[in-house]
């Protein structure tokens, strides 16, 4: 195969020079029915591979008695080969664009139908992992994946595309260029618009007016450059991914896993190149540029990797499928011809084979000369032969069933399937066919300047269908012909089927493990090394689709969206035009229906108007006196900080003793965390506080909760909120927040005293705040100073590290 850099004539020449030739005629992969169909397709042709030297021998099943079949709804009548035949109205050929649109949709529909039908193979139910779709080009693979995603069918790509030619390569180039030149404002702004940063055009515009934030971004990028110069590309990339939230930003896209896989593969290759010379950003970027603009066939290590090996439909180029096998295979694009424009079909000068000596000849295109016409016909013949061999590769990948697509489509008269289904002797019998590509060009008939003049469509449809139906009749158990198929899936797959959790990436780099580790509220609760917000840990299960039209959606995506909205809006002006734009943008970004805009606006209005009413908490049983009425809408911007990041170091962390202290204060459910005790090695506790504000001389922490507890205010009564806090172990979260803020205020506030200056923690359950029902959706607690002191015996805290 030329796509492997090989030359079939070299093999043919070598075969003539040996004394004995062996062949393989027994197939241990495919079922007898499928092999019989393949034998019919290739074996009934007098010269299937165009060149007589490449013959076809019938294939026999390794297990002739195999009963392995695809069974749908109890039916054993599924054939080994199903041929879909497309034709236009009034027997007119379909255009390529019409055919492509139908085929993408119909393949996705059929895949969905199979997965919904309860189909089985050898008494085992099929799943997405049993199915492969073989395509000719990388662009077809990408479009096929997009269509499958609309049906909620999980899929992965396995193509020959160079990872350096992907969009992620260009995106990473822009980002690395900005890191190299953080002082170039236009370059940095362009980088910040890349998907990995999760920003929109509105965000970019806001940066032009916010000098403080822009200065911080420039400073961050300068820091990335320092890491790159001192320690290398990979440590810098790790810092970038962590600080900028690259993974969650990319996973918001339907193909997020694909994007992250490409990104990590490129960084790995850049790191390997850099490791030979040491950290040198300019040299690395020069190497990167050469790979991005290299257009030769990429070596295997540069070809895009599978983003997942989970139970997914495999979308594979036929070139990459060689040597692989799948239970069910779709071959949607073998109908495509080798070209209709001689000026675009072949690269000149042409390398062809001497018809007698079979030696390579270099032919320069001189239009109108006999040698040019003969060379062109020879090159077309070689191309067609290879295309037929590629079709053979595609059809022999399946174990149980193959779907093959053909039809009266523009350009299909020059396809390998036309050669197989309508050999020259068949076309010669058609008196109405004025001219045939395969008869006149490939078999050396009359030479014509315009070499592509298809047969009469009306005669062609009748002739082709007659041929296909005769094949079906001769092989009823092996072949089925469907004219203008229109498969209809009974329903879409559940949404969860298409959501693939991203596996942890294992780096190949030997980065020394620091003696200090990091933990957070999420790590303590789950017992794993995570860096998630609480609404990601305790995500409510998704609701039925019908409910989403009646109320704001639930779950991780909605919770994250609400947090982003509340971080950016001004609660003092809940119905302002700016707030409305922010709400619309964030809902759109989270793919939540715009019909939810009024619901979110109403929620914001209720938050702005609600009075923060203290009630007895889980730790502080008494109700403190708050001398002033506090409403979130009354807090001026200069009195609050949103999304405040914190981190404090802990030299010794005896979590089991902390649990005992909490139990002594009545938090008996803290014992449930005993089994998740983290290591006692030095630790950095980190996290984000949704809001820290000052009112009446005291500082308060606010944490937004998007938990769904019910539809009425009574579902969010103080006692029910306390149960939810206990169930989710949120008391540990606000204990950590209190310690962080206490240390921070000791550093920032003169004459600071905890009891006098710290007001407590408010957990606001967004779905349950109703101003007409005081205290609804509002949980309050203040950790006693004595408890902070006791915890301090087991949390040896170092000086605070905090940033806005």
At 522-547, the pLDDT tens digits run: 555 544 443 434 443 333 433 333 33
pLDDT beyond 50 at 163: yes
Q: What is the pLDDT of residue 132?
A: 94
Report, in this order, helix, strand and coil percent for the chain, each rounded to 5.
45, 15, 35
Q: What is the pLDDT of residue 545?
A: 34
Question: Which of 605-640 are b and which e, b meaning 16 or more Cβ less than 10 Å from the residue's Cβ?
Answer: bbbbbbebbbbebbbbeeeeebeeebbbeebeeeeb
End-to-end CA distance of the chain: 60
CA distance 180 to 183: 9
CA distance 409 to 418: 11
Torsion, Cα of 477, 478, 484, 490 (10° steps) = 70
pLDDT band at 648 (very low <50, low <70, confident <90, very high): confident
Residue with more model confidence, 793 or 405: 405
CA distance 517 to 653: 12
- Residue 129 is encoded by which pair of tokens? 């992992």
Is domain 520-803 in CATH 3.90.320.10, yes or no? yes
CA distance 28 to 38: 14
**Where in the chain do CATH 3.90.320.10 domains reside?**
520-803
pLDDT tens, residue by residue, 192-213: 889 888 887 777 667 767 778 8
- Of the options 3.40.50.12590, 3.20.20.70, 1.20.1070.10, 1.10.486.10, the CATH number for the domain spanning 163-302: 1.10.486.10
Residue range 252-257: mean pLDDT, rounded: 81
Distances (CA, A) of 758 to 415, 693, 695, 752, 784: 78, 10, 10, 9, 10
Q: What is the pLDDT of residue 267?
A: 92
Q: What angle do CA 728, 732, 735 make, to 5 degrees?
A: 145
pLDDT band at 492 (very low <50, low <70, confident <90, very high): low
Residue range 673-699: mean pLDDT, rounded: 74
Q: What is the pLDDT of residue 459?
A: 54
Going through 203-321 in order, the beta strands assigned E by DSSP cover: 313-317
| Average model confidence (pLDDT) across the chain | 78
**Where in the chain do CATH 3.40.50.300 domains reside?**
2-150+315-341+387-483
| Across 62-76, 459-473, 687-701, least confident range | 62-76
CA distance 204 to 788: 42
Torsion, Cα of 30, 31, 33, 36 (10° steps) = 40
CA distance 66 to 29: 11
Residue with more model confidence, 249 or 553: 249
Beta bridge partners of 27: 61
Architecture of domain 2-150+315-341+387-483: 3-Layer(aba) Sandwich (3.40)
Question: Which of 341-363 are b and which e, b meaning 16 or more Cβ less than 10 Å from the residue's Cβ?
Answer: ebeebbeeebebbeeeeeeebeb
CA distance 762 to 778: 7
**Where in the chain do CATH 1.10.486.10 domains reside?**
163-302
Reply yes or no: is the peptide bond before residue 349 cis, omega within 30 of 0. yes
pLDDT band at 157 (very low <50, low <70, confident <90, very high): confident
- CB neighbour list of residue 669: distance below 8 Å, 6 or more residues apart: 726, 727, 729
- CB neighbour list of residue 636: distance below 8 Å, 6 or more residues apart: 572
Query: In which order are the strands placed within the sheet that holds 70-71?
Result: 70-71, 120-121, 124-125
């Amino acid at each position: 195969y030329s796509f492997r850099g090989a030359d079939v004539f070299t093999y043919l020449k070598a075969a003539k020079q040996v004394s004995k030739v062996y062949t393989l005629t027994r197939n241990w992969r495919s079922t007898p029915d499928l092999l019989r169909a393949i034998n019919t397709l290739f074996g009934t042709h007098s010269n299937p591979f165009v060149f007589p030297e490449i013959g076809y021998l019938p294939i026999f099943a390794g297990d002739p008695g195999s009963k392995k079949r695809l069974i749908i709804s109890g039916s054993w009548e599924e054939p080994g080969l199903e041929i879909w035949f497309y034709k236009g109205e009034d027997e007119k050929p379909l255009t390529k664009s019409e055919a492509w649109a139908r085929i993408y949709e119909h393949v996705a529909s059929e895949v969905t139908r199979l997965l919904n039908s309860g189909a089985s193979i050898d008494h085992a139910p099929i799943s997405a992992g049993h199915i492969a779709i073989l395509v000719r080009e990388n662009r077809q693979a990408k479009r096929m994946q997009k269509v499958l995603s609309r049906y909620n069918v999980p899929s992965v790509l396995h193509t020959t595309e160079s990872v350096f030619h992907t969009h992620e390569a260009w995106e990473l180039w822009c980002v690395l260029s900005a890191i190299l030149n953080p002082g170039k404002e236009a370059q940095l702004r362009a980088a910040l618009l890349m998907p990995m940063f999760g920003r929109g055009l509105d965000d970019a515009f806001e940066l032009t007016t916010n000098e403080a934030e822009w200065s911080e971004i420039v400073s961050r990028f300068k820091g990335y450059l320092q890491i790159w110069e001192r320690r290398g590309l990979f440590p810098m990339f790790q810092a970038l991914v962590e600080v900028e939230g690259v993974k969650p930003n990319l996973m918001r896209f339907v193909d997020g896993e694909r994007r992250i896989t490409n990104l990590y593969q490129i960084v790995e290759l850049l790191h390997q190149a850099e490791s030979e010379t040491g950290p040198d950003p300019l040299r690395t970027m020069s190497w990167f540029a050469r790979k991005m603009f290299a257009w030769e066939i990429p070596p295997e290590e540069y070809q895009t990797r599978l983003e997942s090996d989970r139970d997914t439909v495999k979308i594979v180029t036929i070139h990459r499928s060689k040597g692989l096998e799948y239970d069910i295979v779709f071959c949607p694009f073998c109908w495509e011809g080798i070209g209709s424009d001689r000026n675009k079909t072949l690269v000149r000068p042409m390398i062809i084979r001497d018809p007698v000596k079979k030696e390579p000849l270099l032919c320069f295109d001189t239009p109108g000369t006999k040698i040019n016409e003969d060379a062109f016909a020879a090159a077309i013949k070689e191309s067609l032969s290879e295309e037929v061999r590629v079709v053979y590769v595609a059809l022999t990948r399946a174990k149980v069933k193959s779907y093959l697509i053909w039809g009266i489509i523009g350009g299909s008269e020059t396809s390998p399937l036309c050669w197989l289904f309508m050999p020259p002797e068949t076309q010669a019998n058609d008196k109405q066919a004025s001219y045939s590509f395969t008869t006149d060009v490939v078999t050396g008939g009359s030479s014509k300047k315009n070499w592509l003049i298809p047969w009469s469509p009306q005669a062609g449809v009748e002739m082709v269908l007659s041929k296909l139906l005769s094949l079906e009749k001769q092989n009823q158990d092996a072949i089925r012909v469907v004219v203008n198929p229109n498969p209809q899936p009974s329903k879409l797959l559940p949404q969860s089927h298409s959501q693939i959790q991203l596996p942890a990436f294992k780096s190949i780099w030997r980065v020394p493990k620091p003696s200090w580790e990091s933990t957070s509220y999420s790590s303590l609760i789950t017992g794993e090394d995570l860096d998630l917000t609480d609404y990601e840990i305790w995500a409510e299960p998704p609701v039925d689709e019908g409910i989403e039209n009646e109320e704001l959606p639930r779950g991780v995506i909605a919770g994250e969206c609400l947090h982003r909205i509340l971080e950016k809006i001004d609660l003092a002006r809940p119905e302002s035009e700016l707030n409305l734009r922010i709400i619309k943008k964030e809902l759109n970004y989270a793919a939540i229906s715009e019909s939810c805009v009024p619901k979110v606006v109403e929620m914001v209005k209720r938050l702005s108007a609600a009075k923060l009413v203290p009630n007895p908490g889980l730790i502080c049983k008494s109700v403190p006196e708050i001398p002033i009425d506090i409403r979130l809408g009354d807090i001026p911007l200069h009195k609050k900080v949103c999304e405040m990041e914190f981190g404090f170091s802990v030299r010794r962390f005896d979590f089991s003793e902390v649990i005992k202290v909490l139990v002594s204060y009545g938090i008996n459910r803290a014992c449930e965390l005993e089994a998740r005790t983290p290591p006692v090695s030095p630790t950095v506790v980190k996290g984000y506080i949704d809001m820290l504000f000052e009112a009446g001389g005291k500082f308060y922490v606010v944490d937004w909760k998007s938990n769904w507890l019910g539809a009425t205010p009574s579902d969010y009564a103080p006692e029910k909120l306390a149960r939810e806090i206990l169930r989710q172990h949120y008391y540990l979260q606000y204990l950590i927040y209190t310690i962080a803020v206490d240390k921070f205020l000791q550093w920032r506030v003169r004459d600071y005293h905890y009891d006098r200056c710290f007001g407590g923690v408010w957990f606001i359950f967004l779905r349950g705040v109703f101003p007409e029902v005081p205290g609804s959706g509002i949980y309050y607690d203040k950790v006693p100073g004595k408890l902070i002191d006791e915890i301090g015996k087991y949390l040896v805290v170092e000086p605070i590290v905090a940033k806005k």
